[in-house]
Amino acid sequence: MRKIMYSTLTFLCISSLISAQVTERERPASWDQFVEGGRFADRFLPMPDGKLSSDTWGAQQVIPRFIDNGIEDQVRSYWGGNILKGDDGKYHLFVCGWREDSPKGHHEWPNSIVYHTVSDNRFGPYHIQDTIGPGHNPEAFKTRSGKYVIYVIDHYYLADNINGPWTRQTLDFDPRDRKIIEGLSNLTFTQREDGSYLMICRGGGVWISQTGLSTYNQISDQRIYPPVEGEFEDPVVWRDSVQYNAIVNDWLGRVAFYLRSKDGVRWVTDPGEAYMPGIAVHKDGTKENWFKYERIKIFQDEQGRAIQANFAVIDTLKNEDKPNDRHSSKNICLPLNPGVLMTLLDKKPITPQTKEIRLLIKVEPEFDPQTDIDISSLRFGASTEVNFGRGCKPIRTEKSGKDLIVIFDGQGNGITEEEFAPKLIGKKKDGSMLFGYTRLPWVKYIEPILSARKPSVVTSDGKSMIKVEVENFGQIASTPTVLYIYGNIGGKEKLIGQTKLAAIKPYQKESVEIKSKQSLDIAADYSLRVAFGKD
């Protein structure tokens, strides 16, 4: 046993390796101090009642189960897949699978076939309507232009209609002089406010495409994942009305992490499990204790809130899923607590000296904030506070039409200059968990995103010049900015050049040549770094 020091995300890694597929990771002691709602995993709700059966495949711990939840049968093993709601009012799950009796068992997955399956409700049962074609780990989305995309490893399928016909296409990727982080597979996509797309690759790199079909450009040098030991894969990213959200799975440790961002580029990790084995629960408390949950996908409501998670689940170790046995895999649908809709009414920045904070909680179908909330249970502030039961306490309420304004004592809010989405945690009067996030009126959520390619050394009139191309991947034009070039000279990093950049429109680029303060050899491979600052 060895201790891995990583702040609040410290893990004690126990080397109890089972067939090289599982390592149990002990949680940090601080994780025992969460209140309900402090972890993303607290959002999972009991599965809706369905067709309960023991006459099916599976290890003892997943029997009996709801065989009409998601998609499963005796013929195929299913994996991956996410849901789109069609204009026909039906739910369309694009999932992959292979024959259960394949000689390689679970390891037949490289020969997966993508299926278009349909259900009258989002929990299933889903039935195959059409065969799309070869591919693994499908992820479907609709572009702003109205075209439908089913991405799979190495290619994608494109159609004008959710029912096809589908044509096979290939995406273009431009790493922009950066190392691709762990390759381009298991990609996940979300649409930005202007219809462009943000993509996270398996390794945690951030990419942007102006249309979702045009070239994806890598803009990050580091992965977005938490700085802990883990075998990370299966990221999922989505944007709601408040922030960008992501979850990534440590498949070896069977524990996932939840991340948040105001722009999809700079991320923070919330401590606590996003999900782990044991989250598939019936209303009576019975568990479908699936061995592994992988390939999470999120279904969102009209406000963008996550209201359902879909998983590929398997009842045993993958190596033990053999042909013609009792083991297999399926796609499962688990409901999520969507949280409440909120608006912060304060217009001035919140500081440690703020006396009162006014938060409006909105009425929704089947939720009346004026009658349903246990007001005394509410806590508001930075996630780092409220997730552990701290934060601001309510001191009074006011009605605003059918909505409710809760006034909090500002003490202990924990909100810093870096905060972009403070959190509310509490309970309803029926004892169920209540939570929500809100934006801060003074924070700019859409900003320019300037990104430079690798600088190169050139000569002009016998002088050393540094050439660099800068592109704006933000959704608004940049303001005049200073570009700085730093270089490793004689073993020390020094400022070797700077210039003023004019405003750059979204998705536009500008090439500049900067006079170097140092004499540079055009044939040398210098370690040059670009930084941007205010004019």
**11 has pLDDT over 70:** no
The answer to whether the peptide bond before residue 271 is cis (omega within 30 degrees of 0) is no
What is the per-residue pLDDT across 327-364, written as a single tens digit (0 to 9) for each? 999 999 999 999 999 999 999 999 999 999 999 999 99
Q: What does the DSSP assignment read for 389-407?
A: T-SBPEEEEEEETTEEEEE
- Say whether 450-534 and 342-437 share the same fold: yes
| AA identity, residue 446 | I
Q: How confident is the model at residue 522 (pLDDT cuts 50, 70, 90)?
A: low
Rounded Cα distance, 113 and 506, in Å: 38
Rounded Cα distance, 269 and 28, in Å: 14
Per-residue confidence (pLDDT) for residue 171, from 0 to 100: 96
What is the per-residue pLDDT across 231-279, written as a single tens digit (0 to 9) for each? 899 999 999 999 999 999 998 888 999 999 999 999 999 999 999 999 9
Q: Are 247 and 256 in contact (CB under 8 A)?
A: yes
- Report yes or no on whether pTM surpasses 0.85: yes
CA–CA distance from 520 to each of 113, 454, 487, 489 (Å)? 55, 16, 10, 10
CATH homologous superfamily of 450-534 equals Immunoglobulins (2.60.40.10)
What is the per-residue pLDDT across 203-229, written as a single tens digit (0 to 9) for each? 999 999 999 999 999 999 999 999 888
What is the per-residue pLDDT across 409-454, written as a single tens digit (0 to 9) for each? 999 999 999 999 999 999 999 999 999 999 999 999 999 999 999 9
What is the per-residue pLDDT across 149-189, written as a single tens digit (0 to 9) for each? 999 999 999 999 999 999 999 999 999 999 998 888 899 99
In this prediction, what percent of the chain has a pLDDT beyond 70?
Answer: 94
What is the per-residue pLDDT across 476-520, written as a single tens digit (0 to 9) for each? 999 999 999 998 877 788 898 899 999 999 999 999 999 887 777
Q: Which two tokens stand for residue 310?
A: 């879909």
Lowest mean pLDDT among 1-5, 72-76, 240-244, 310-314: 1-5
**Residue boundaries of the structural domains of the chain:** 37-335, 342-437, 450-534
CATH homologous superfamily of 37-335 equals Glycosyl hydrolase domain; family 43 (2.115.10.20)
**18 has pLDDT over 50:** no
- The fold of 342-437 is Immunoglobulin-like (2.60.40)
